[in-house]
Amino acid sequence: MSRPSFHEDAACREAPLSVTWFPGRGQSTAPAVKICASCLAADECLVWALDHGDDLQGIWSGTTQRQRQRMRRAGLATHAVHSPYRLVPSGW
């Protein structure tokens, strides 16, 4: 998978290597989610992640794979979404 164009502005580019972007069961998502919260590319990242379907793993725009699956099932149009810090209510 090639790097998406928004990656030039991505906060994750400068994240410590200790941050887990593909957490396994029982691993915290918090460090990655915290970095996403400050990312200038968060909106583009979320659209990109939603466009890549239910099989896309990892933390993208502060969302987990399961959260994105719920968003897709809820029918959120990718052209209308924004970073979860502005749109998605808690509990997603």
> Closest approach of Cβ 18 to ligand SF4, in Å?
15
> Closest approach of Cβ 5 to ligand SF4, in Å?
11
Among 12, 19, 56, 87, binds ligand SF4 (CB under 6 A): 12
Assigned token pair, 47: 């659209």
Chain position carrying tokens 């997603």: 92
DSSP three-state, residue 2: coil
Does 47 bind ligand SF4 (CB under 6 A)? Our answer is: no
> Closest approach of Cβ 65 to ligand SF4, in Å?
13
Measured between alpha carbons, how far is 17 from 8 in angstroms, rounded to an integer? 18
Residues 14-33 that bind ligand SF4 (CB under 6 A): none
The residues binding ligand SF4 (CB under 6 A) are 10-12, 35-36, 39, 41-42, 45, 60-61
